[in-house]
Amino acid sequence: MSECILNLLPLHEGEREEFEAIAPDAVHVYAGRSTATPEQIASATVIFGWPRPEAMGGAASLRWFQSMWAGTDEYAGKLPEGVLFTSSSGSNSRSVAEHMLTSLLAVCRRLPAYRDSQRAHLWKDEGAMKTILGASVLVVGAGHVGSDFAKLCQGLGARTIGLKRTASGPIEGFDQVRTMDELDALLPQADVVALALPHSPQTVRLMNRGRIARMKDDAILINAGRGSVLDQDALVEAMRASRLWGAALDVTDPEPLPPDSPLWDVPNLLLTPHVAGGMRLEITRRKCVEMAQENLRRYLAGEKLVNQVL
């Protein structure tokens, strides 16, 4: 049976030809997320991109699906049984890491407060600032994003510790790699705590009131994984009590953040609307395409695919 490949990726000139050169005997169909028809989804044996989860129940011929995002929870229980499922984990790691570092430095230099002063036409010195030179940065989630963020922090003179479920060896960017069960012991030592975790039953409210209380009074909290990992009410309470230096959140729970959320008004808390990743950088888009192409080569050769979702 020949392959029918439904390609929903945001392709640029010449990239269709690249896919067709890898799989010259396949039928290649190109569409957008909103324009893919039920008939196209039903006949596809391979799908690349970001189809609507509710449409995947009609993918009767599907054998392999590669999502264009790292997160895959929206497709849980939505794919036909037995389908190979791969993600694009790592495609946007540089983008998210740069956003995390930018946010961290902004909070260190009190830029949210200075922006508020600018809008109010106030010439006001906010006082002491922080540096990450010599700081201890604890990255909770030592995957692609965490590793890239840690490398950037190391380049500015920070010491980095990464936490994983299992620590089986060194990971680029980290001076140490430890296991998640050491989180409570390490929190009081960290100047920066950066959360780079996916949503799962094990990560929901992992950063709870008790763990926020274990952080240094002048520590900074960064979250660029999933909003569900953090107890936001506990963070608000701690920061209103001057228990943390600052925080930067690119993700919240829920999203969009409701207008009446107290997070909007916490001093030295920087909020961005889940924009750290996505296809906002060309390097992210191109890497996503290249990952699909590499997995297509492997798929046709009968080899193990990269980023298989269990």
Residues with catalytic function: 226, 255, 274
Residue 127 and residue 110: Cα distance in Å, rounded? 9
Nearest 5°: phi and psi at 14?
90, -15
